[in-house]
Amino acid sequence: MPSAVDKSKIHPVRWIVLLVAIGAAVFLLYISRQIMREAGVDEEHSADAIVVFGAAEYVGHPSPVFRARLDHAYSLFERGLAPVMITTGGAGNDPHFSEGQVGRDYLESRGVPDANLIAETQGGDTEQSARRVAVILRANDMHSCLLVSDAYHMFRAKQMMTAEGIKVYISPRPSSIPKTFVGRYLAALRESVSYLLYRAHVM
């Protein structure tokens, strides 16, 4: 049987684990509230570029979610909120098409001139795309962007772009907030976990 001395050595470790778990839970709840609050914001502010975060593509065609983001970005472009549109996203499991290129081609098919389109095609996730887009913006002497994505993705994407020194405004695609209470909290919790992992990675 473990001695009293052994137990005393274990107790502090258990307390540390418990405190870390409580701290993580509190942080996730706090960030979830921030995510839900940000999801209801639509700034539609003029900027140097409109950045459309990628979603799935199917054999060279944007998924319904991605197409809805692109259509929303197109409406912002048509209103003159930015002169340039940047689409993001790598190839994923598709060796022939990237989300960024598919998004760019879709916008070009809608009549956006080639000179007004830039495709970021190497980002494997939101963090990588944010960093690569920031490089593209700085290389073109641009310092602000209007982000387009789903509502509950906005908080994390904005934080990542802001961390790269970019002035960020947000405009989520319409009808992208989950319809049910449970759906909203699950989406917020999922984004909170992703944001927590991002913060742990960059610390």
Q: Domain locations in the chain?
A: 1-40+177-203, 42-176
Domain at 42-176: CATH code: 3.40.50.620
- The SS3 of residue 50 is strand
Query: Using an 8 Å Cβ cutoff, are 165 and 4 in contact?
Result: no
Alpha-carbon distance of 82 to 166, in angstroms, equals 15
Per-residue pLDDT of the chain (203 residues; tens, 9 = 90+): 455 445 555 567 787 787 777 877 888 888 999 999 999 999 999 999 999 999 999 999 999 999 999 999 999 999 999 999 999 999 877 778 999 999 999 999 999 999 999 999 999 999 999 999 999 999 999 999 999 999 999 999 999 999 999 999 999 999 999 999 899 989 999 999 999 889 888 77
Mention every residue, 6+ apart, whose C-beta is less than 8 A from residue 148: 50, 51, 52, 53, 69, 72, 73, 76, 171, 172, 173
Alpha-carbon distance of 67 to 107, in angstroms, equals 9
